[in-house]
Amino acid sequence: MGSQGDNFFEGAGFDWESYIVHRPAPDAQFYQLIYDHHRTNGGEFNLAHDIGTGPGNIAEQVGKAFKRVHASEPSAYHTSVAEHRLKAIDPDKFTTQQCGGEDISTAGHKSGSVDLITVAQCIPLMKVDQAISGFAKLLKPNGTVAIWFYGRPAFADPSQQRSQLIINQILSKAWDRVRPMKGTGFEAAKIMLCAFLDNVAFPEKDWKQVRRVKWNHDKPMMFLEDDDVDFEIKWDSKVRKDESEEKIIDRDFWAIDADVAWMRGFVDYALPWENKDEERAQFDGLFRELELSMGGKEKKQRVTWPVALLLATKK
């Protein structure tokens, strides 16, 4: 596990392959939904740009549909990881660059040159209005931006209410290391999650065919309970009247049949800072409780996810 800092995932000790294993993964149908929107609105499949690429796992998948994929990432270490992984797949298809998502339109790319921009699991950490404006400059007319975020793991079986309470407690305790949050970037990020990204605006002068899809919106997106934060949770909805909104309850969406070891891996790699001995002992006790609640060490329970997907077409 890495150490706590401005970026939890920084450092050569972080195991990116285990990170990928212990994440929910968008399935083929999810990508197809994005591509169908893109195609229907006149988009081409030449160049995609994956923002905040991390280890390049999303760029890898997008590369199956696009001729070329550029992957950018603000961290130098992450960029080197992505470059190593993606070049091993296809050195001619993939390129990488160290750059923040908000700055990508001024980082040497030609305006109106990109067909699709993907932004997975990182929009809450950006200066959102600046980022959306930059995406509009980078995209071709009829190009698409696809932004998504998944939230707190949710046990699909109602009989696993005890397990849900325990994993909520574990996640809350894991966030103790970054309190207080008020006045930090975490405050804005968590408010965005509570809003299911509804406070992300797509100005009408730049964007058309805006579509917001929410799966399992009856489950909380934020990894903390409302009472666990030290700031007021409120936001202004930026949803325009002409935008499409869809809400879907599907407990099989991105579902994972997880045992307690997978759940621990999810927490470890979602919030990978080192714990002191006393904290580690507390986590060990909570995970033992979770193991019993889930039915034993080898028992698997279905876990689903609240997910928000934003699709918008460049005018």
For 144-197, the pLDDT digits (tens) are 999 999 999 999 999 999 999 999 999 988 887 777 777 777 888 889 999 999
- 314 close to 132: Cβ distance less than 8 angstroms: no
DSSP assignment letter at 184: S
Nearest-angstrom CA–CA distance, 200 and 138 = 18
Nearest-angstrom CA–CA distance, 198 and 106 = 27
Of the pLDDT bands very low, low, confident and very high (cuts 50, 70, 90), residue 2 is very low
Give the tens place of pLDDT for each residue, 100-132. 999 888 887 889 999 999 999 999 999 999 999
- 152 close to 219: Cβ distance less than 8 angstroms: yes
What angle (nearest 5°) sits at the alpha carbon of residue 14, between those of residues 183 and 189? Answer: 20
- Mean residue pLDDT across the chain: 90
Nearest-angstrom CA–CA distance, 219 and 197 = 14
Helix (H, G, I), strand (E, B), or coil: what is residue 69?
A: strand
Nearest-angstrom CA–CA distance, 61 and 65 = 8
Nearest-angstrom CA–CA distance, 282 and 134 = 44
More reliable by pLDDT, 125 or 48: 48
| Cβ-based neighbour number of residue 291 at 10 Å | 20
